[in-house]
Amino acid sequence: MQEKELKYIAEHYQTPCFIFDLEAVKERVKKMREIVGGAYQLCYSIKANPFLIPTMAEITDKLEVCSPGELSICKALRVEPTKILYSGVNKTEVDVTDAMEYGVIHYTAESLLHMDIVNQVAGKYQKKVEILPRLNAGSQFGMSKEDLFSIYANEEKYSNVIVKGIHYFAGTQRKKNDKQIKELDVLLELIKEIQTTFNRKVEQIEYGPGLSVPLFEGDDFSDTLKPLENIHEKLKELSGVVDLTIEMGRFYSTFCGTYLTRAMDCKSNEGVNYCIVDGGMNHLNYYGQMMGMKVPHIQHLHACDNRIEKNWCLCGSLCTTADVLVRDVTLQGLHEGDYLAFNNCGAYSVTEGIHLFLSRTMPLILLRTAENKYIVARQMQESYPINTIQNY
């Protein structure tokens, strides 16, 4: 965002606040569509940023929902239930019942237990729903190949579900695209093996490539869509065999987000310049940041004409030495009353922060619909009531 507009926000709204640019995320998905060329579908994992749900429901093909709370958000926003893929590692009968009553028909199964639960609930409601068993990729998620094959070998046991294919996701922010290409080759071979062994077609693959985005100084920002371009031909090859959907969150939403915070106190101690801002690590989080050692892209909005260059340690308002946003960054004329805009925080940061620590106020959230036009998605909220004993 331009400095002029950020100053307008600082003057007309409170800080700290997040600004999510809906036009920016729409433009990014449009460019992704141009690369994809209709070869496969796009799914948005809403855990990356639930405040983008209405927009992403319009511009992507599916929404991945990973918890009962996320489903409740979708219900409150009246998301079309047939667009939801209900995923997540700890599905209970209550959770699946809630989803089925809402009208969700697409599910993943993390285990044989999940297969049984979805099948039983579907039978109770006399429904036939679609399910994608998730294949393990070396973590706690998904099931073994042996369990996957046992499902295909005993499909008659699951009379209320249609096993459509496979769900596969290995990790996030993976910078070496040869890993995704190898995974896609493995999936192609697995499809052939299933077809040969069980004489049945694998219809769908839901694949999470975990494509990376640049975040810090030294990262390459020249072409942030390059990772998708690098694996597109292999994705296209897979889409020629099955109906393919790629599932992502960070890759869509990172660049639409800005965190705006105000310099409250500037001081020096033993040769180190410290700036305390009105936000902190309870709000702002970058994947891969370690005690503020990395420097994200920051815009400095000056309140005065001082341009003396100094190195600063930017700290939040929490009463802990861990609340360091950036350990060492060079800024010109930083002064109380200035604003700092941390860019590229549209993914995860808004919900990953430790909001309840020290009972600080939760930040304002704005959705930018056009220049100087905003929707207040959430007012500032106090966290102390959640930390207060009830009925004392």
> Are the beta carbons of 86 and 108 closer than 8 angstroms?
yes
Q: Round to whole Å and give the CA distance between 286 and 251.
A: 14
Closest CA to 275 of 298, 247, 241: 298
How high does pLDDT run on average in the chain?
A: 96
Average pLDDT of the segment spanning 216-233: 98
> Are the beta carbons of 30 and 277 closer than 8 angstroms?
no
Q: Round to whole Å and give the CA distance between 317 and 279.
A: 6
Has residue 24 got a pLDDT over 90? yes
What are the structural domains of the chain?
A: 3-17+256-387 (2.40.37.10), 38-252 (3.20.20.10)
Give residue 307's pLDDT: 77
pLDDT band at 347 (very low <50, low <70, confident <90, very high): very high
> Are the beta carbons of 217 and 200 closer than 8 angstroms?
no
Has residue 44 got a pLDDT over 90? yes
pLDDT band at 371 (very low <50, low <70, confident <90, very high): confident
Element (H, E) at 34: helix 22-36
> Are the beta carbons of 358 and 318 closer than 8 angstroms?
yes
Computed on alpha carbons and rounded to an integer, the radius of gyration of the chain in Å comes to 23
Has residue 304 got a pLDDT over 90? no
Give residue 118's pLDDT: 98
Closest CA to 154 of 192, 203, 188, 112: 112
Structure tokens at 212: 């990376």
Question: How do strand 62-65 and strand 309-315 relate by DSSP bridges?
Answer: unpaired
The pLDDT tens digits for 190-209 are 999 999 999 999 999 999 99
> Are the beta carbons of 314 and 275 closer than 8 angstroms?
yes
What's the predicted TM-score (pTM) here? 0.96
Closest CA to 250 of 32, 44, 19, 27: 44
The amino acid at 277: V
Weakest mean pLDDT among 5-14, 57-66, 241-250: 5-14
The pLDDT tens digits for 130-187 are 999 999 999 999 999 999 999 999 999 999 999 999 999 999 999 999 999 999 999 9
Could you give the C-alpha distances from 182 to 140, 176, 189, in angstroms and in order?
Answer: 21, 11, 11
Give residue 370's pLDDT: 85
Has residue 346 got a pLDDT over 80? yes
The pLDDT tens digits for 85-125 are 999 999 999 999 999 999 999 999 999 999 999 999 999 99
